[in-house]
A and B are shown apart, each in its own frame.
Chain A
Amino acid sequence: MRLLVKNGSIQRRLAVQLSLVAGILSFGLFMLIQVVAETAAVDTQDKILRASAISIADSLYAENGKVRLELPYAALSMLGTISQDRVFYRVLFKEKTLTGYDDLPVQAVEMLERKNKFSTFQYRGEEVRSVLIKRSIAVDGVFSDAIIIVAQTRLGLNVISQKITRTATTMGVLFFLFGTGLSVWAAHVALNPLNRIAQAVTQRGPKDLRPVTGNSPSELKPLVDALNSFILRLKSSALRTEDFISEAAHRVRTPLATVRTQAEVIHRSLDKSKNKTALRDMIRALDESSRSAGQLLDHAMVNFRSDQFSPSEINLLDILKEVCNRLSPLAGLKDITINNEFQEDNCLFRGDAILLHNAIRNILDNAIKYSPDDSIITVKCHWSKKIIVSFEDAGRGFSGNEYTKRFTRGTNVGDVIGSGLGLTIANEVAIVHGGFVLISKNKKGVGSCVSLILPTF
């Protein structure tokens, strides 16, 4: 039993235990029916036996100094009404057999003193039930005892008993089946709240770290509490990770900003061309490192969010417009114009807005960086079977084999540091959304075209 339920489900364990209880109860019911009914049956036979004996006793009379008996017809015929059992009787007066079966034992004489006048014994090869009563008869004014014994075999009783056993067994089995069914049902119902909680937790998105609420039985409260406390810790841990990324960014960026701005100021105040060039190189190095740091942070953030990917309904065009607006002042510094060519106003998509924002910003940032002054970047978005967001620029493009090896960390376009990571970020975001990034030559001949290809849902 232990083995059976050791690692099994609670539901099965509960069902088995309840079934055991049902089994015990069924057996109890069986025994109860058996005992009660058999007692009733024995009782019935006893009553008839006694009635028979009394009617015989009532027929005893004294006549001419002798005891006489007119055995009433009913005395024996009544015994034949419920079964076809053999019937024996014996009447004794002054310890001499008056009539009947004179070998019928009078073993129960001593029982007369007690209340129990019935006994069961073997007689003529069969078990018989007998009753013994005593009646005082006055013969010539002297009272003497007459003993009347009536006995009956228990064939009918056995038949009844068999019938009762059958009924009791049927009842017991039915009760057991019913009980077992009920047990399985009860176990199922009892575990419903648990299943509900499990389902509620399972159906959650990975980012959904709200505590589990809803009605749960008091027995499950420790579990729910533990779960909620775990969720809380997980949540704070996730927040800490996010905070760490932000904090790291903050810590690095503020000093960088200070250095850079001061360098610019100094650069302006210098006259010597040689010093200026040195400072200029320094600022460039600063820019590159801060850009790399930014991209690394972006990449870390993308990884973090990808791990906890939780898409929602978004309008891709909103994100595109935002990024374009955001970057157009930057583009303007190089007199680069960003043109939008969107198919319609809405492009609904299921994804993570922040990730997509990041990907698009990195692609566009790259495009601006590699585009020559006074050029145009065209951002297109069209969709049919797939959503294709493409960024066409007039930059220097990628050389032949670079079209396939864009997406590894740290590869760069020529001498521009950090360019590879931007596209790597974009590609990772695309993959999380079930898409990919495609780099091709610009159809117009000059520059390249980076396409973010996403599945429609």
Chain B
Amino acid sequence: MRYLLVEDNIQLARAISDRFALEGHVVDHAKSLNEAREFMDLTSYQLILLDIMLPDGDGRFFLKTHRVNKNTTPIIILTARSEVSDRINLLDLGADDYITKPFDFRELEARCRAVLRRQDGSADNKLELSGTILDSLEGTLKTGAKIEKLRNRELRLIEIFFSSPEKIFSKNHLMDRLFSFSEDISENAIEVYVGRLRKKLDNSHVKIETVRGLGYRLISLK
């Protein structure tokens, strides 16, 4: 996935870009609206993350012209304001969603996912391993005719496995990515979700294997 981040605060922009990179997304950073327009002329993006207060103008103005030009690329606004009136205004102007700073990255991710899901699901969002297809936008796991609906955490867990089959993920790593920092979760919680996924992967050629002492990995049985 390729995202465009329009944010004048360089530190924040760098942090967000780094954070998205960890999830395997590419983020181009534009420091101003003009830069953003230049980026958009060069390449196309699946999603735009837009700050409101920018040195060369108001993000809302950009949003408006974006929609007037019939550009369908979804936009999520990053706002430092909590006012609901702002929010309503933003949605009216054509924003797909917004998130108030500071944010839990997982929430941003979830919102991105939700916005993208509302777009037509493209092939990019589907990962396949040994005949089992993970549609991360739909949140489904398809093995032949059998379609398993995944809950949020299950989806995010299996996404991690599908993004790097054969790679071993430690329990700690998985916990970090699955649970928020405010939650006190025991390591066993991962086992619960792994257990659920295994159940949903029954009758498929894909399996989550426990690597004793190290963690879990996704393997193909073919």
Contact = CB atoms under 8 A, between A and B. Distances in A.
Given a CB threshold of 8 Å, the question of whether A touches B is answered with yes
Interface stretch (B30-38, B106-114, B122-130): B106-114
Given A246-B81, A254-B9, A287-B181, A335 B153 contact: yes
A374 B80 CA distance: 30
A267 B103 contact: no
A284 B83 CA distance: 24
B221 interface: no
A228 to B, nearest CB: 25
B67 to A, nearest CB: 20
B180 A297 contact: no
B182 interface: yes
Contact of A249 (B9, B81, B153, B182): B81
Interface in A228-258: 242, 245-246, 249-254, 256-258
Given A258-B9, A329-B111, A249 B80 contact: yes
A32 to B, nearest CB: 71
A444 interface: no
Contacts of B11: 258, 262
Interface in B12-70: 12, 14-16, 18-19, 22, 53
A283 B181 CA distance: 7
B172 interface: yes
Contacts of A221: none
Interface in A255-291: 256-262, 264-265, 267-268, 273, 276, 280, 283-284, 286-288, 290
Interface string A292-327: 001001100100000000000000000000000000
A307 to B, nearest CB: 16
B82 A265 contact: no
B102 interface: yes
A330 interface: yes
A200 interface: no
A441 interface: no
A302 to B, nearest CB: 11
A276 B183 CA distance: 14
B102 A333 contact: no
B5 to A, nearest CB: 11
> Number of contact residues on B: which range applies?
35 or more
Given A250-B81, A335-B151, A354-B84, A256 B101 contact: yes
Contact of A290 (B102, B106, B181): B102
Nearest to A356: B84
Contact of A333 (B53, B80, B85, B180): B180
Interface string B133-162: 000000000000000000111000000000
A370 to B, nearest CB: 11
A261 B19 contact: yes
A261 B82 contact: no
B151 A257 contact: no
Contacts, number: 112
Interface of B: 9, 11-12, 14-16, 18-19, 22, 53, 78, 80-86, 100-107, 110-111, 113-114, 151-153, 172, 176, 180-183
Given A265-B18, A273-B172, A330-B110, A301 B82 contact: yes
B100 A354 contact: no
Contacts of B103: 257, 260
Contacts of A283: 181
A371 to B, nearest CB: 12
B83 A257 contact: no
Given A258-B11, A273-B172, A333-B180, A264 B105 contact: yes
Given A250-B81, A298-B82, A332-B152, A257 B182 contact: no
A269 to B, nearest CB: 8
Contacts of B80: 246, 249-254, 257
Contacts of B113: 329
Given A287-B182, A354-B85, A276 B172 contact: yes
A360 to B, nearest CB: 10
B102 A257 contact: yes
Contacts of A273: 172
Nearest to A258: B12
Contacts of A245: 83
B107 A330 contact: yes
A286 B102 contact: yes
A301 B102 contact: no
Contacts of A361: 84
A422 to B, nearest CB: 13
A280 B107 contact: no
Contact of B152 (A258, A268, A287, A333): A333
A358 to B, nearest CB: 6
A357 interface: yes
B210 to A, nearest CB: 20
A284 B102 CA distance: 12
B15 A262 contact: yes
* A-B interface, 6 closest residue pairs, ranked by CB to CB distance from nearest: A250-B80, A261-B15, A257-B102, A257-B101, A256-B102, A258-B12
Given A333-B152, A333-B180, A357 B84 contact: yes
A185 B102 CA distance: 66
